[in-house]
């Protein structure tokens, strides 16, 4: 696994956030605060780059959301001293399916919740003249563990190049509360949901395999850490079947008259 100079990387990310917002002419950002590690780190980096008055945190719970998630989101906002906006999405999410399809599956509702949250975030971004700050990390982007046009939508992704294990390490350096850093990773889209259980692989293992498979100059056969072939195959499939999520919708090449 690579060894980043995390302090230097914090500076580099902060400069990226400051530069991107300046280029866009929109010096403020808004992001969804889930109470999880990724949104917490993204918020902390944004505060470092822009100052606490230029970062808005949106808490967007559904009635099925864990109360602990909102508690942790509020703790993070208090720690960073940033303004929060709370808007419940229950009515927005449930009204559609209660009318059209009451037998909705858990997966469809999970994707719907993620997209409802992004609808609200983009509306709030217009209202407050702020860019939507992404919170996805490299691990989840590579394997497609995000909802297309849901949590995968944003103006830019400041931690999109960091593996999940690097997110944890950087969070410690930036003073993210320990109860957030140490909690079980979850998208909180249904009761008892866990990222690692849903993917069927632990983050440290997934990160090491992704590093071996995707980083230039790496060769899994020569790596000091070798996993069973079936795990490599599993991760390759996860990357392959989610490729469409990482690309703009394809367009046929123009045909010119002869």
Residue 42 domain-assigned (yes or no): yes
CA dihedral 91, 95, 97, 103 (to 10 degrees): 80
Supply the pLDDT for residue 113. 94
Structure token digits, residue 152: 């995968």
57: in domain: yes
Q: What are phi and psi of 118, to 5 degrees?
A: -70, -35
Q: Please count the CA atoms within 13 angstroms of the CA of 163 that sit on its side-chain side.
A: 20
Token couple for 204: 């440290």
Long-range contacts of 157-162 (CB under 8 A, 24+ apart): 158/13, 158/16, 158/17, 158/42, 158/45, 158/46, 158/133, 158/134, 159/13, 159/38, 159/41, 159/42, 159/45, 159/134, 159/135, 160/134, 160/136, 162/9, 162/137, 162/138
Q: Is the Cβ–Cβ distance between 26 and 121 less than 8 Å?
A: no
Could you tell me if residue 22 is inside a domain?
Answer: yes
Quick one: residue 188, left, alpha or beta (phi over 0 = left, psi -120 to 50 = alpha)? left
- CA–CA dist 133, 102 (Å, integer): 33
Q: Which domain holds residue 211?
A: 6-246
Burial of 252 (0-12, 13-18, 19+ CB in 10 A): exposed
Taking the C-alpha atoms of 172, 174, 175 and 177 in order, what is their torsion angle to the nearest 10 degrees? -70
Asked whether residue 115 is assigned to any structural domain, the reply reads: yes
Q: Does residue 252 form part of some domain?
A: no
Q: Are 10 and 170 in contact (CB under 8 A)?
A: yes
**CB-side exposure of 237: number of CA atoms within 13 Å?**
8
Q: What pLDDT is recorded for position 153? A: 97
SS3 state of residue 153: coil
Residue 1 covered by a domain: no
CATH assignment of the domain containing 67: 3.40.50.620
Question: CB of 148 within 8 A of CB of 118?
Answer: no
Q: What is the pLDDT of residue 240?
A: 98
* Number of structural domains the chain divides into: 1
Q: Residue 221 has what pLDDT?
A: 61
SS3 163: coil
Nearest to 234 by CA among 204, 199, 194: 199
DSSP sequence for 210-245: HHHHHSTT--GGG-S----HHHHHHHHHHHHHTGGG
Q: Does residue 254 lie in a domain region?
A: no
pLDDT tens, the chain, 258 aa long? 889 999 999 999 999 999 999 999 999 999 999 999 999 999 999 999 999 999 999 999 999 898 999 999 999 999 999 999 999 999 999 999 999 999 989 889 999 999 999 999 999 999 999 999 999 999 999 999 999 999 999 999 999 999 999 999 999 999 999 999 999 887 776 666 788 888 999 999 999 999 999 998 776 666 777 899 999 999 999 999 999 999 999 998 888 766
pLDDT at 220: 61
What pLDDT score was predicted for residue 134?
98
């Amino acid at each position: 696994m690579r060894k980043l100079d995390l302090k230097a990387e914090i500076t580099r990310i902060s400069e990226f956030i400051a530069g991107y917002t300046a280029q866009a002419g929109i010096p403020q950002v808004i992001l969804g605060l889930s109470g999880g590690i990724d949104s917490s780190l993204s918020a902390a980096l944004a505060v470092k780059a822009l100052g606490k008055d230029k970062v808005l945190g949106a808490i967007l719970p559904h009635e099925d959301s864990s109360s602990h998630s909102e508690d942790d989101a509020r703790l993070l906002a208090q720690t960073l001293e940033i303004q929060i906006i709370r808007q419940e999405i229950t009515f927005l999410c449930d009204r559609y399916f209660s009318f059209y399809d009451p037998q909705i599956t858990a997966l469809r509702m999970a994707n719907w919740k993620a997209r409802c949250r992004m609808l609200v975030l983009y509306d709030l971004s217009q209202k407050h003249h702020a860019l939507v700050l992404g919170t996805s990390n490299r691990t989840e982007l590579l394997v497609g563990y995000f909802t297309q046009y849901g949590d995968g939508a944003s103006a830019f992704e400041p931690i999109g190049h960091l593996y999940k294990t690097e997110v944890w390490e950087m969070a410690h350096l930036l003073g993210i509360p320990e109860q957030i850093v140490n909690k079980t990773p979850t998208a909180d889209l249904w009761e008892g949901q866990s990222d690692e259980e849903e993917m069927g692989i632990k983050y440290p293992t997934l990160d090491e395999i992704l590093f071996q498979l995707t980083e230039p100059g790496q060769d899994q056969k020569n790596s000091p850490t070798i996993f069973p072939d079936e795990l490599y195959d599993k991760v390759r499939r996860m990357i392959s079947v989610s490729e469409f999520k990482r690309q703009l919708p394809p367009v046929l090449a123009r045909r010119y008259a002869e």
